[in-house]
Amino acid sequence: MPTSFKGTKVEQEALNTFVKLLRAADTLSALTHRHLAAKKLTVSQFGVLETLHHLGPLCQAEVAKKNLKSTANMTTVIDNLEKRGLVERHRNDTDRRYITLHLTTAGKNLIEELFPIHVQGIVDRLDILTPQEQQQLGQLCKKLGTGQQN
């Protein structure tokens, strides 16, 4: 026998918003990353390439932080990118704990080819919202994500 959720109004509203937010993010992510399959790239691999493309060479811990992932995870994802010759690991000589990641030429070419397609996919999907609505959505998400008033 199904039990439908009986909570206070506040609880129902919060739960409702929560579910919609997570579903929207899931759906949007799936749609905007579909094109990666053609290049046999995963979302995480694309994220690393994108980070290096926009911020330049970084150490693994920083890439992990930008992508909200653990350093253990970065080891795996970068292993796979390295196997395909898309990134290179350079041990830092002044502080040997660090490994600086660099895009190879192949990696640079690939991300430069994919990124415009990626952006276009996002623009197309977000086109359903007016510029004001996008602005609003961004602000609400920022507030919620950081837990700060602004």
Site residues (vs a second copy, CB under 8 A)? 1-5, 7, 10-11, 13-18, 20-29, 32, 53-56, 68, 119, 122-123, 125-129, 131, 133-138, 140-149
User: For 82-95, b where at least 16 C-beta lie within 10 A, e where not — what string?
Assistant: eeeebbbeeeeeee
119 binds, among DNA, a second copy, none (CB under 5 to 8 A by kind): a second copy
Write down the least CB distance from residue 52 to DNA, Å.
Answer: 13
55 binds, among DNA, a second copy, none (CB under 5 to 8 A by kind): a second copy
129 binds, among a second copy, DNA, none (CB under 5 to 8 A by kind): a second copy
Residues whose CB falls within 8 Å of the CB of residue 149, separated by 6 or more in sequence, listed in order: 143
35 binds, among DNA, a second copy, none (CB under 5 to 8 A by kind): none
Question: Which of helix, strand or coil describes residue 5?
Answer: coil
Write down the least CB distance from residue 16 to a second copy, Å.
Answer: 6
Write down the least CB distance from residue 108 to a second copy, Å.
Answer: 9
75 binds, among a second copy, DNA, none (CB under 5 to 8 A by kind): DNA
> Burial, 62: exposed, middle or buried (Cβ in 10 Å; 0-12, 13-18, 19+)?
middle
Alpha helices in 56-103 (DSSP H): 60-66, 71-83
Nearer to a second copy by Cβ, of 21 and 99: the residue is: 21
Q: Which two tokens stand for residue 147?
A: 């837990």
- Report d(CA 90, CA 59) in Å as an integer: 9
- Report d(CA 103, CA 61) in Å as an integer: 16
Nearer to a second copy by Cβ, of 83 and 131: the residue is: 131
